Amino acid sequence: MRDRHQVLCAKIEEANHQYYVLDKPEIPDAEYDRMMIELTAIEACHPELKTTTSPSVRVGGQPLAVFKPVSHRIPMLSLDNVFSAEDLRAWELRTCKSWLPGSICCEPKIDGLAVSLIYVRGMLVQAATRGDGATGEDVTENVRTIKAIPLTLRGEGWPRLLEVRGEVFMPKAGFEAMNAKARVAGEKVFVNPRNAAAGSLRQLDSRITASRPLSFYAYGIGEGGEMMANFHSERLAQLKAWGLPVNPEVMLKVEAEGCLGFYNDILSRRAELPYEIDGVVYKVDAIHLQQELGFVSRAPRWAIAHKFPAQEEMTLLEGVDFQVGRTGAITPVAKLKPVFVGGVTVSSSTLHNADEIARLDLMIGDTVIVRRAADVIPQVVSVVKDLRPAAGVPVAFPDQCPVCASTIERAEGEAVARCTGGLLCEAQRKEAIKHFASRKAMNVDGLGDKLVEQLVDRSMIRTPADLFNLRAGEVAELDRMGKQSALKVMAAIARSRNTTLPRFLFALGIREVGEATAINLANHFLSLDAIRGASVEQLLEVTDVGATVATHIYSFMRQPHSNEVIDALLAAGIQWPAIERKETAEQPFSGKVFVLTGTLSTMTRQAAEEALRMLGAKVAVSVSSRTHVVVAGSNAGSKLKDAERLEIEVWDEEKLIQEIGVHA
């Protein structure tokens, strides 16, 4: 039993080492779980085998009442920062150049929390947080649950007492997954991976820590270093050999220029790295130079952090605007006191919808944390509740459209609230005209957003059709226009008369009709008249058109207002070349409408659809009286019932394969 226990301990820790240190997982998760179960079972019968270095401590133990204080024999320092190449060159002059040219060890600066790990004779005996640098908290039980941290060191030659220092952090993927779970369960979500790591490590109940996806990278040595190599980079390599994870990005460089190369490389890959970083750290590699350089107050002279532009900043929420989109969707937009974050000045940020405002528990006058990661639109991530003014005003979601005063409605189960004013709403009209003129729609060159807004504000146009009645003289009078630019816009409007049916359909701005659907509609019906007259059932036969889209198209085509606009546009001379009916007469399934349902075992649904289309069939998403064949795989549900009810021919997979085979 004792032997089996030892074998399991070794195998489990080997698996952890392969995964966290070597980054090469070798055994499947299921096998790992199985070994853990067996180990726990053995220890249940033989409690004497359950030591502090058994992998069973990874699941956590009895909760503590308090964390004991731990004083650090060698203080845990912090780092000074530089924010620019210039500052870095100044640091270089102050440090390396005045002593000796030499290598600089460059490391990512992970956004987690610093811990000290004490190994005595290769066994992890204590783990502590940094605290104030002099005294931290004893988090040994919690740290033992972090699988990246070895409970016993590998190899040999360790100092009798070795203090490893490094960063506990939560990888981005684990953070996202944990927050997603918390959201579903209605629990508290963490604002960023650093808070999540700190919150997870500082749990009195180590079983909670065990359930959190924490990881670790070693970046230095406290006590015991004098027994080790004379270069920091060699010490890191030694730690790795002893089984501690060391960041694979760590690299030696020379001079500020070399460091800047490292900085730029890491910055360019920041988004792809699996963990959050807030900069890089440069360390003089030679330990004797570190010792000569020494410390100033709480930071070493031999190391410096080169920070990336902050991705999060605090600022004031000055107000909330409610914008009305083309389909009436009301979007709350935070008006912020301008703040420099992630390399740009941010003064507004979308709040998405009413649920988001409720989630943030937002009040006007609040101090908020704004985040702007590279290439991502700025977001308000949280409210700093401690700074909330006594006179904070709750954000009230309006029940009337701020532009046209029509009622705002929110359909059940939808996150979006909408103005019900339709094209009576000036905001929706403006957006509809902007969309009509946009590049992928009618492509009216030079008719930008600002111009459309002026035209609507001055009642020069009400609908897209009015564009074709504008006169150059009146357009020339507008702000930032002149005779030349007016003539250009007029020419572009005139040119846009010659278009294609798909572009025209897309330009109408029917809800959920994007470019692809517009093309499918045109190819299916061939003429605008056919689309205007189509029933919901007929619309459902169009490739990729489902019940929602079909209903949107159907009701759009029956609204008096839409019909007036379409008629006026046609009267203004909008035209397109006729679409030729594709030569499909010889195809075996031409004119036949198929619906697929259930799971196919020999091919994907997509492959089956493609094969049918190749033979001339149309594939629709729902069953109607116009469906010819329903192909039912296993677990077919309501569509199969519909087919039976409507007495439509049903094929099973075998029949499908046979038919495709015969005709292919």
From candidates 171, 213, 243, 300, binder to ligand IVH by CB under 6 A: 300
From candidates 35, 57, 77, 522, binder to ligand IVH by CB under 6 A: 77
Of 608, 613, 624, 610, the C-alpha closest to 589 is 613
| Distance from C-alpha of 279 to C-alpha of 270, rounded to nearest angstrom | 9
* Min separation Cβ 134 and ligand IVH, Å: 13
Q: Taking a C-beta distance cutoff of 8 angstroms, is the pair 428, 401 a contact?
A: no
* Min separation Cβ 105 and ligand IVH, Å: 9
Give strand pairing partners of 618. 593
Q: Please count the other Cβ atoms lying within 10 Å of the Cβ belonging to residue 335.
A: 14
Which C-beta is closer to ligand IVH: that of 167 or that of 313? 167
Residues in contact with ligand IVH, shown as a per-residue x/- string from 226 to 265 under the rule CB under 6 A: ----------------------------------------
Which residue out of 68, 109, 253, 639 is catalytically annotated? 109
Which C-beta is closer to ligand IVH: that of 108 or that of 502? 108
Candidate segments 74-82, 333-341, 436-444, 606-614, binder of ligand IVH by CB under 6 A: 74-82
From candidates 67, 219, 275, 525, binder to ligand IVH by CB under 6 A: 219
* Min separation Cβ 193 and ligand IVH, Å: 13
Polymer length of the chain: 664
Candidate segments 108-116, 174-182, 381-389, 620-628, binder of ligand IVH by CB under 6 A: 108-116
From candidates 92, 141, 167, 313, binder to ligand IVH by CB under 6 A: 167
Q: Please count the other Cβ atoms lying within 10 Å of the Cβ belonging to residue 294.
A: 9
In the structure, how many helices (H) and strands (E) does the chain have?
Answer: 25, 26
* Min separation Cβ 446 and ligand IVH, Å: 52
From candidates 58, 109, 371, 524, binder to ligand IVH by CB under 6 A: 109
Task: Map tokens 């190994």 to a residue.
Answer: 119
Specify whether 639 is catalytic.
no
* Min separation Cβ 76 and ligand IVH, Å: 7
Q: Please count the other Cβ atoms lying within 10 Å of the Cβ belonging to residue 135.
A: 15
| Distance from C-alpha of 497 to C-alpha of 451, rounded to nearest angstrom | 19
Residue 380 in contact with ligand IVH, rule: CB under 6 A: no
Residue 357 in contact with ligand IVH, rule: CB under 6 A: no
- H/E stretch holding 535 reads none
* Min separation Cβ 210 and ligand IVH, Å: 22
Two tokens, residue 518: 């517009």
From candidates 110, 478, 540, 656, binder to ligand IVH by CB under 6 A: 110
- 58: phi then psi, degrees, rounded to nearest 5: -65, -20
* Min separation Cβ 75 and ligand IVH, Å: 9
Residue 303 in contact with ligand IVH, rule: CB under 6 A: yes
Of 375, 162, 344, the C-alpha closest to 272 is 375
Residue nearest to ligand IVH (CB): 114
Give the DSSP letter string of 571-616. Answer: HTT-B-PPPPPP--TTSTTTT-EEEEESB-SSS-HHHHHHHHHHTT
**Region class of 288: left (phi > 0), else alpha (psi between -120 and 50), else beta:** alpha
Residue 130 in contact with ligand IVH, rule: CB under 6 A: yes
Of 528, 508, 536, 511, the C-alpha closest to 620 is 536
Candidate segments 109-117, 201-209, 229-237, 490-498, binder of ligand IVH by CB under 6 A: 109-117
Of 208, 204, 417, 400, the C-alpha closest to 331 is 417
Task: Map tokens 């700190």 to a residue.
Answer: 198
Which C-beta is closer to ligand IVH: that of 110 or that of 539? 110
Of 554, 328, 556, the C-alpha closest to 421 is 328
Residue type, 394: P
Residue 107 in contact with ligand IVH, rule: CB under 6 A: yes
| Distance from C-alpha of 416 to C-alpha of 406, rounded to nearest angstrom | 16
Q: Taking a C-beta distance cutoff of 8 angstroms, is the pair 202, 249 a contact?
A: no
Task: Map tokens 């075998």 to a residue.
Answer: 654
Which C-beta is closer to ligand IVH: that of 221 or that of 447? 221
Q: Of residues 477-536, which lie at the interface with ligand IVH (CB under 6 A)?
A: none
Q: How many residues bind ligand IVH (CB under 6 A)?
A: 15
**C-alpha separations of 207 from 30, 117, 169, 179, 384 in Å:** 21, 20, 17, 18, 29
Which C-beta is closer to ligand IVH: that of 306 or that of 503? 306
| Distance from C-alpha of 42 to C-alpha of 36, rounded to nearest angstrom | 10
Give strand pairing partners of 329. 418
| Distance from C-alpha of 323 to C-alpha of 488, rounded to nearest angstrom | 31
* Min separation Cβ 218 and ligand IVH, Å: 9
Residue 139 in contact with ligand IVH, rule: CB under 6 A: no
From candidates 49, 57, 79, 170, binder to ligand IVH by CB under 6 A: 79
* Min separation Cβ 171 and ligand IVH, Å: 14
Residue 220 in contact with ligand IVH, rule: CB under 6 A: yes
Give the burial class of 397: count Cβ atoms within 10 A of its Cβ; 0-12 exposed, 13-18 middle, 19 or more buried: middle
Which C-beta is closer to ligand IVH: that of 165 or that of 371? 165
Which C-beta is closer to ligand IVH: that of 107 or that of 431? 107
Which C-beta is closer to ligand IVH: that of 109 or that of 503? 109
DSSP 167: E
Q: Taking a C-beta distance cutoff of 8 angstroms, is the pair 332, 352 a contact?
A: yes
| Distance from C-alpha of 583 to C-alpha of 590, rounded to nearest angstrom | 10
Which C-beta is closer to ligand IVH: that of 92 or that of 642? 92
Residue type, 395: V
Candidate segments 71-79, 118-126, 433-441, 604-612, binder of ligand IVH by CB under 6 A: 71-79
* Min separation Cβ 111 and ligand IVH, Å: 7
* Min separation Cβ 450 and ligand IVH, Å: 46
Residue 305 in contact with ligand IVH, rule: CB under 6 A: yes
Residue 286 in contact with ligand IVH, rule: CB under 6 A: no
Q: Of residues 191-210, which lie at the interface with ligand IVH (CB under 6 A)?
A: none
Which C-beta is closer to ligand IVH: that of 237 or that of 333? 237
- 525: phi then psi, degrees, rounded to nearest 5: -95, -20
Contact residues for ligand IVH (CB under 6 A)? 77-79, 107, 109-110, 114, 130, 167, 219-220, 281, 300, 303, 305
Active site residue ranges: 109
